[in-house]
Structure 1
Amino acid sequence: MSIILLLIIACAIILGVAEFRQKWVTKPIFKIFKKILPPMSTTEREAMEAGDIWWDGEIFSGKPDWQKLHAYPDGKLTEEEQSFIDNQLETLLAMLDDFSIVHESKDLPKEVWDYLKQEGFFAMIIPKEFGGLAFSATANSTIVTKIATRSISAAVTVMVPNSLGPGELLTHYGTQEQKDRWLPGLAQGKEVPCFALTGPEAGSDAGAIPDKGVVCKQEFEGKETLGIRVSWNKRYITLAPVATVLGLAFKLYDPDKLLGEQEDVGITCALIPTDHPGVQIGDRHMPMGLAFMNGTTYGEDVFIPIDWIIGGPDYAGKGWRMLVECLSAGRGISLPALATAIGHLGTRMTSAYSYVRKQFGLSIGKFEGVQESLARIGGYSYMLEAARRFTTSSLDSGYSPSVVTAISKYHMTELARVVVNDSMDIHAGKAIQLGPNNYLGHMFYGMPVAITVEGANILTRNLMIFGQGATRCHPYVYKEMEAGANPDFNQGLKEFDALLVKHVGFTLRNLGSALFNGLTLCKFSDSPVAGETAQYYKQMNRLSSGLALCTDVSMLILGGALKRKEMISARLGDVLSQLYMASAVLKRYETDGRQVSDLPFVHYAVQSCLQKAEIAFQGYFDNFRPRWLAHVLNRIIFPYGVSAKGPNDILARQVCRSLLRTGDTRDRITHLCYMGKDENDPIGVVEAAFVAMHQCQAIELKIHGAQKSGKLPKRVPLDEVIGKAQEQGLISEVEAQQILRADELRKKAIAVDSFSADCFKSIQIDSRNQDNAA
């Protein structure tokens, strides 16, 4: 007994006294840590340091502060922004004929281009002092979302100048002279921007761009000028075919050391007029099923003055950081807006179509097979709008959370992929016949655009979300890495020792929390609210502590190899992402005033998130090595096995009941879907038929009752049944006209387009390989 007591005292002295602990515990660990610390390239470091930590940090903490979640301000539209949406945006939407844009002119009409420039649609992020609108991220996102419900091609055209590009880069980093030179023209639409980053050999790996610039002196405008001779070959550049100013990313070299002592300066961004000698704008690409301007640009040994570097010579070599910081914000606005548009349009139109389309004498929305898909559409669309608002609110609050925006980009576009597929399924033949009446076809074609750009989804999920999240959002890991990289060993050791003590306590706390919540099924876990959603906060507490615990264990066991174990790390990223999406849903429910009618959508969305989070955990446990440790972690977090079952059939039917009837709930869920102005609009006619048929429900009940009793014949044309019902006095003349009118709208709503043979004459397309054009 005395020996055990002595051992306990010795351990307490070693661990409790800093000098002993540093010498016998921390120093050996620190030496090993410095050896295994994974090497980090300049581009990786800059990407890691870019952006802010926001709610993602709370999720990684293992103990989210739910009061902080509820206290975050919701993104609000100003009076000016709302007026723009009610007036200029509505005017624009009425001008758009998406079928004509994509299949006839393959471009926006001139009057649309002129209107976009005239009304400042390309200037939403430009400060007012330069003639811009200076709209919030929420307004930017709302406008793009609503345009996308009408035309993806028009939405992309508006989206790009207000995302990563010359306007944003100049606003944040440009010299005053550059701002004065370019921003007024961009705001007025006199200048059309594009930004060239991607090339044949460098897509997601932008750090590998082969495009090269060399610092030199050359005569320019009659005098010797310090500048850059740059060569590039770029593709997939949106707006390039019509651009007047080209933003260009390239690697800069200074062999003669004209700028400084560094020969390899690094990635640099410059702004070049497209009419500058040597700048070549190549042919257009043809984005699948869409008609926004996208093409190639190239140049060979084009001389530009050094002052054309965005930010001036001081920003030479800082281009990658500039791009990453701007992209972390833009990624949270543009593509999530397209995804949310699919949710609003898919939900509004598919619910209406499910009601007006009949099979076997019944609306197809009454069949449970259709209801299963329709419920998924509604639940996911509620989540999409919640995540859109939650993410843009962070940007409007002054944050630029790179992990959060990556989560939004990946998971919102993936949710939209499910929504559009389910919508296509329910619409069946109407969805696959392209024509003016098909409002889903171009959405379906456009989905891969959102999936693949601004960081392809595979890259975003497997490298970015957890790769950045685990390091940046963890309260100690990044600081420990900085201590390990400190060239002063003793100073680094002191910093590492203090962090290590806190880190161990952090890990033990999360282990205890996960185990306690698992054993008690979260019965004693905290929740900031009462009522039906309280259970979700409790479950998310357990999953958060489990995520933090598994992250620490994974980093300890795998070290630098973790970033190469993409399947393992991506699953932990999925847990983080699903907790973020569920948080957005709960935040929306609270912000909207806890609408009781929204509860089926809230339950469906959060239960889906929790189920996916637990599936991700199980995938992690099934594949993590060593197996015994994976088994231990599984038993700590889920001692009784996984419990999240996902939405059940009863809940799915509740969601469908809300969507298959007119009213405030359906209007609120789909408020950004453009409805058209009359019954000749392809969207407007489906909605009109939906409303008209609801208004005829009482009349239909009379007729069906009479058919059931034998007073009226079954399975005969509607107009014949209506005539006989009127003859027998079962319905009035007004009622007869009302139901016939509703049926006329119904037939128009389910109609598909057909074309004469002349429309299918083959058109020879001159296809060129522009990858080798330079």
Structure 2
Amino acid sequence: MILWLVVFVAGALALMMMRVGAWTWLVAELAWIWVGGVTDQANAIVCILLAIILCVPTLLIAIKSVRQTLITRPALDVFRKILPSMSDTERDAIEAGTVWWDADLFSGKPDWNKLMQLPPPTLTAEEQSFLDNEVTQLCAMVNDWDTTVAWQDLQPEAWQFVKDKGFLGMIIPKQYGGKQFSAYMHSQVIMKLSSRCSVAAISVMVPNSLGPAELLLHYGTEEQKNHYLPRLARGEEIPCFALTSPYAGSDAAAIPDVGVVCKGMHEGKEVLGFRVTWNKRYITLAPVATVLGLAFRALDPDHLLGGNAEPGITCALIPTKHPGVVTGRRHWPLNAVFQNGPTSGDNVFIPLDWVIGGQAQVGKGWRMLMECLAAGRAISLPSSSVGFSKMAVRGTSAYAAMRRQFKIAIGKFEGIQEALARMGGNLYMMDATRRMSSLAVDAGEKPSVISAISKYHVTERGRIVVNDGMDVIGGKGICMGPGNFLARVYQQIPIAITVEGANILTRCLIIFGQGAIRCHPYVLKEMAAANDTDHDRALGDFDKAFFGHLSFVAANMARSLVFGLSAGLLAGAPTNAAEETRVYYRAVSRMSACFSLLTDVSMLVLGGSLKFRERISARLGDVLSQLYLISATLKRYEDDSRQRDDLPYLEWSVQDALYRAQEAMLEVLDNFPNPFISLALRIWMFPLGLSYRKPSDRLAGAVAVAMQTPGASRDRLVADVYQPDAETDPLGSGERAFNLLPQVHEIETRLKQSIKDGVLPPIPQSLIEMRRWNARAMEQGLINADERLVLDDFAHYGDITVQVDDFGPDLDMGKALQKPQEPVLIRSA
């Protein structure tokens, strides 16, 4: 009897996971009952009862006409009643863009082989040359100190270089005079610039992200493209895009800026157009822009366009010299001092031809904007965060390895190693996410959910990296000056957190709010069927989607339990995965099934109110996000040819993300309105107890040591950033001293016995005093001239690294405002 029941449970779980149809279920049930009867596991009465309980409902479901009458039609009526209302803005946001790997993670059964078959992102020879030459030259021209203290902007020579070398036309096709770079190249450029100067990165980023060029490429008329794109590519036009209004913020449906359709005079002719009134703020490049992209709410009370009296959000291009356009004074965004400010206009007449895409795109502006957000959210902002994080990791790890306290390098203290491990582990995952999201855009995707995940989590982890860096370098980090490589970045971090969808909004409303509908294989289909006015078609479509959804839930229920009982050993992994990472693929597959189950139960229990339960939806979004970040990290390891030296970074970041995903699930369950369902789900998904823990101290120590060890692994971690010259930049000096450490340690180790015997005094903590110590060691024949040069160079460049800038009584502000034209040589140690 027990074996017979075990066969039933195992068979049911297997059929659920395989998602077989009702007729297959019926045959399997009859076969199981028959076996029970012929083997005397059940008598005739039990067999008849089992047939009634199991087979009759299955038969009713298997017969389509009966199923639709008894189940589908009532379910459709209920679904229509509980379906939450959706504004046009929400509908456009949900329908915009495409789904990609996020849909696999929602499925509960990610197809790892599909992901692994994607080629790693690469650059063409032309792109690599531009990155090595023009981008490096621009980095050498600028730095955060000069742009923020002396210029409050890019200096004129840098602006001209940006225009002349085509930085503003990286995404514009060659036929219009642009560079036509890939999304990955766009990402590489922004990352490298961000490792040097935020103002340069932002000034280049905006024209190549959400703005006139991006919108023109996708929606502009041929006439608009032929006019504007070559001028934008040559830098003759500086673009900006004005969306945010003081009293609307992120609520595009509430935009108060209005354009009323009317007739007016333009270039001596009466034409159809809009009389637009607007008041916008936070507009990057607005103070220097020559062409203004403007989003406004179109109204057509006289039906001059022949359609709706309120067509909706519309986007237009307006020359900033057009009569009535007012460019306001500058905003001052947290010492980043990039060009940013308000723009306004009162009853400004613009011709209909200035609408992006012409009359056909009137009222479609919000959809246009949502579909073009991928570049800014998936490329620009994550790339800038990775860029300054690489700079922070590079400078901080070098500082920790050289700076001595209590006669040892501070990087050997466990407290410092804990912070360094967070920095290195987070950076490895951030860079992996940047690369994979770029790959999606280059594959032709418009990844709305993935772009939100990338924007939120990479910028948030960037904040963690810089905060930890500030803690490690201590007093040096809080004293302003050209030698402080972290202060300006620390001040400017909230900019990336805030722009293009503030992170609170992105986490609470966008990631899961869009993902639950767009990435789910059935919800959008059910919603479409429920809104279909053709009753017969609606019933057929809903029947297919509804029972597909039930099968989907059953499959994930089975997977969650089976994977939980097997501790993930039965979960899926790619066939060619590295043995050392296979456990992590299985963990993601298991958590994907649990996440899908939890999502469906949440939607069932909370219904339409889930839309307003932002804490729960945010935590569900956190689970999806962590699974995406882990996927990107595992793919990076494969793309980098499975570098075993990088394994500590991978393991730390993946273990941290798995723990975060598990905690987010538990927080959802802890706040479920139904405690019985919450308890049942917790036992079902984690039948052997909680599976994931934070990274161990041993692993954190391994990450910290790897970060403080010169070599290929650390080079890969901070690859493709600007490397300043050691003679003119304290950050470059730190790297020079850091690279000398292996030789210094070898020499010092050899001299330990001489110190112990009293031949030499103890190694001084002061790098300035170290020079005299070096001279004494050479005088006694303990080191040769080459070794003394190594030690002297280490003392020289290391001393520059640890020094803190000082100024006169007035902070030398008069001297600072003299706008330096040449780099100032660093002072000698």
Length-normalised TM-score, structure 1: 0.97
User: Could you tell me which residue of structure 2 aligns to residue 667 of structure 1?
Assistant: 715
Determine which of 409, 419, 433 is the counterpart of 2:465. Answer: 419
User: Could you tell me which residue of structure 2 aligns to residue 581 of structure 1?
Assistant: 629
Q: Given that residues 342 and 419 in structure 1 are in contact (C-alpha distance below 8 angstroms), is that contact kept between their aligned partners in structure 2?
A: no
Distance 1:266 1:281, change over 3 A: same
Deviation at 1:711, TM superposition (A): 2.8
Q: Given that residues 578 and 642 in structure 2 are in contact (C-alpha distance below 8 angstroms), is that contact kept between their aligned partners in structure 1?
A: no
Greater CA deviation, 719-728 or 274-283?
Answer: 719-728
Distance 1:751 1:457, change over 3 A: same
User: Could you tell me which residue of structure 1 aligns to residue 321 of structure 2?
Assistant: 275
Deviation at 1:719, TM superposition (A): 3.8
Greater CA deviation, 672-681 or 222-231?
Answer: 672-681
User: Could you tell me which residue of structure 2 aligns to residue 33 of structure 1?
Assistant: 79
Q: Given that residues 213 and 250 in structure 1 are in contact (C-alpha distance below 8 angstroms), is that contact kept between their aligned partners in structure 2?
A: yes
CA distance in 2, matches of 1:720, 1:711: 14
Q: Given that residues 386 and 588 in structure 1 are in contact (C-alpha distance below 8 angstroms), is that contact kept between their aligned partners in structure 2?
A: yes
User: Could you tell me which residue of structure 1 aligns to residue 801 of structure 2?
Assistant: 749
CA distance in 1, matches of 2:292, 2:175: 23
SS of alignment partner, residue 671 of structure 1: coil
Q: Given that residues 344 and 672 in structure 1 are in contact (C-alpha distance below 8 angstroms), is that contact kept between their aligned partners in structure 2?
A: no
Determine which of 116, 121, 124 is the counterpart of 1:70. Answer: 116
User: Could you tell me which residue of structure 2 aligns to residue 518 of structure 1?
Assistant: 564
Q: Given that residues 93 and 150 in structure 1 are in contact (C-alpha distance below 8 angstroms), is that contact kept between their aligned partners in structure 2?
A: yes
SS of alignment partner, residue 567 of structure 2: coil
User: Could you tell me which residue of structure 1 aligns to residue 685 of structure 2?
Assistant: 637
Determine which of 612, 617, 639 is the counterpart of 2:665. Answer: 617
Distance 1:715 1:523, change over 3 A: closer
Q: Given that residues 192 and 242 in structure 1 are in contact (C-alpha distance below 8 angstroms), is that contact kept between their aligned partners in structure 2?
A: yes
CA distance in 2, matches of 1:190, 1:8: 74
Which residue identity does 2:613 align to in structure 1?
K
Which residue identity does 2:800 align to in structure 1?
K
Which residue identity does 1:39 align to in structure 2?
S
* Residue correspondence of structure 1 range 201-280 to structure 2 within 5 A: 201-280=247-326
The reply on whether 1:134 has 2:180 as its aligned counterpart is yes
CA distance in 2, matches of 1:545, 1:474: 13
* Residue correspondence of structure 1 range 72-91 to structure 2 within 5 A: 72-91=118-137
Deviation at 1:715, TM superposition (A): 6.8
Q: Given that residues 542 and 637 in structure 1 are in contact (C-alpha distance below 8 angstroms), is that contact kept between their aligned partners in structure 2?
A: no
CA distance in 2, matches of 1:12, 1:535: 38
The reply on whether 1:739 has 2:787 as its aligned counterpart is no
Deviation at 1:207, TM superposition (A): 2.0
User: Could you tell me which residue of structure 2 aligns to residue 768 of structure 1?
Assistant: none
CA distance in 1, matches of 2:799, 2:726: 16
SS of alignment partner, residue 378 of structure 2: coil
User: Could you tell me which residue of structure 2 aligns to residue 682 of structure 1?
Assistant: 730
Q: Given that residues 646 and 713 in structure 2 are in contact (C-alpha distance below 8 angstroms), is that contact kept between their aligned partners in structure 1?
A: yes
* Residue correspondence of structure 1 range 372-411 to structure 2 within 5 A: 372-411=418-457
Which residue identity does 1:128 align to in structure 2?
K
Q: Given that residues 125 and 135 in structure 1 are in contact (C-alpha distance below 8 angstroms), is that contact kept between their aligned partners in structure 2?
A: yes
Measured against aligned partners, the alpha-carbon deviations of 1:388-409 in whole angstroms (never above 9, x if no partner) come to 1100001001111100110000
User: Could you tell me which residue of structure 1 aligns to residue 100 of structure 2?
Assistant: 54
Deviation at 1:726, TM superposition (A): 3.1
SS of alignment partner, residue 673 of structure 1: coil
Distance 1:28 1:745, change over 3 A: same
User: Could you tell me which residue of structure 2 aligns to residue 472 of structure 1?
Assistant: 518
Measured against aligned partners, the alpha-carbon deviations of 1:46-92 in whole angstroms (never above 9, x if no partner) come to 11111111000000000111101101222211111111111111111
SS of alignment partner, residue 122 of structure 1: helix
State, as a whole percentage, how many aligned pairs show the same letter: 50
Measured against aligned partners, the alpha-carbon deviations of 1:606-635 in whole angstroms (never above 9, x if no partner) come to 111101100101111111120100111111
SS of alignment partner, residue 69 of structure 2: helix
CA distance in 1, matches of 2:49, 2:644: 64
Q: Given that residues 693 and 743 in structure 1 are in contact (C-alpha distance below 8 angstroms), is that contact kept between their aligned partners in structure 2?
A: no
User: Could you tell me which residue of structure 2 aligns to residue 771 of structure 1?
Assistant: none
CA distance in 1, matches of 2:784, 2:95: 73
User: Could you tell me which residue of structure 2 aligns to residue 598 of structure 1?
Assistant: 646
SS of alignment partner, residue 279 of structure 2: strand
* Residue correspondence of structure 1 range 122-201 to structure 2 within 5 A: 122-201=168-247
Q: Given that residues 693 and 739 in structure 1 are in contact (C-alpha distance below 8 angstroms), is that contact kept between their aligned partners in structure 2?
A: no
Which residue identity does 2:628 align to in structure 1?
Y
* Residue correspondence of structure 1 range 314-333 to structure 2 within 5 A: 314-333=360-379
User: Could you tell me which residue of structure 2 aligns to residue 767 of structure 1?
Assistant: none
SS of alignment partner, residue 237 of structure 1: strand
Which residue identity does 1:283 align to in structure 2?
R
Measured against aligned partners, the alpha-carbon deviations of 1:114-171 in whole angstroms (never above 9, x if no partner) come to 0000000000011111111111000001000000000011100100000000111111
SS of alignment partner, residue 271 of structure 1: strand
Measured against aligned partners, the alpha-carbon deviations of 1:583-619 in whole angstroms (never above 9, x if no partner) come to 0000000111111111111111111110110010111
CA distance in 2, matches of 1:324, 1:345: 31
Measured against aligned partners, the alpha-carbon deviations of 1:187-227 in whole angstroms (never above 9, x if no partner) come to 11011000000010122112211000100012222222111
Greater CA deviation, 108-117 or 424-433?
Answer: 424-433
User: Could you tell me which residue of structure 2 aligns to residue 725 of structure 1?
Assistant: 777
Deviation at 1:6, TM superposition (A): 3.4
User: Could you tell me which residue of structure 1 aligns to residue 336 of structure 2?
Assistant: 290
Which residue identity does 2:784 align to in structure 1?
S
User: Could you tell me which residue of structure 2 aligns to residue 565 of structure 1?
Assistant: 613
Q: Given that residues 348 and 673 in structure 1 are in contact (C-alpha distance below 8 angstroms), is that contact kept between their aligned partners in structure 2?
A: no
Deviation at 1:248, TM superposition (A): 0.4
Deviation at 1:483, TM superposition (A): 0.4
SS of alignment partner, residue 213 of structure 1: strand
CA distance in 1, matches of 2:785, 2:237: 61
Aligned residues: 763
The reply on whether 1:339 has 2:385 as its aligned counterpart is yes
Deviation at 1:517, TM superposition (A): 0.9
Q: Given that residues 13 and 20 in structure 1 are in contact (C-alpha distance below 8 angstroms), is that contact kept between their aligned partners in structure 2?
A: no
Which residue identity does 1:743 align to in structure 2?
A
CA distance in 2, matches of 1:712, 1:9: 91
User: Could you tell me which residue of structure 2 aligns to residue 772 of structure 1?
Assistant: none
Determine which of 86, 90, 115 is the counterpart of 2:161. Answer: 115
SS of alignment partner, residue 308 of structure 2: coil
CA distance in 1, matches of 2:536, 2:341: 55
Which residue identity does 1:550 align to in structure 2?
L
Greater CA deviation, 578-587 or 667-676?
Answer: 667-676
Deviation at 1:9, TM superposition (A): 4.1
The reply on whether 1:651 has 2:699 as its aligned counterpart is yes
Length-normalised TM-score, structure 2: 0.90
Larger radius of gyration: 2
Deviation at 1:525, TM superposition (A): 2.4
SS of alignment partner, residue 283 of structure 1: coil
CA distance in 1, matches of 2:581, 2:330: 51
Q: Given that residues 725 and 733 in structure 2 are in contact (C-alpha distance below 8 angstroms), is that contact kept between their aligned partners in structure 1?
A: no
SS of alignment partner, residue 171 of structure 2: coil
SS of alignment partner, residue 810 of structure 2: helix
CA distance in 1, matches of 2:55, 2:598: 31
Q: Given that residues 392 and 485 in structure 2 are in contact (C-alpha distance below 8 angstroms), is that contact kept between their aligned partners in structure 1?
A: no
User: Could you tell me which residue of structure 2 aligns to residue 461 of structure 1?
Assistant: 507
CA distance in 2, matches of 1:612, 1:281: 45
User: Could you tell me which residue of structure 2 aligns to residue 540 of structure 1?
Assistant: 588
Which residue identity does 2:641 align to in structure 1?
G
CA distance in 2, matches of 1:6, 1:695: 82
Which residue identity does 1:119 align to in structure 2?
K
Greater CA deviation, 344-353 or 147-156?
Answer: 344-353
Deviation at 1:27, TM superposition (A): 1.3
Distance 1:177 1:632, change over 3 A: same
Deviation at 1:532, TM superposition (A): 1.3
Q: Given that residues 106 and 291 in structure 1 are in contact (C-alpha distance below 8 angstroms), is that contact kept between their aligned partners in structure 2?
A: yes
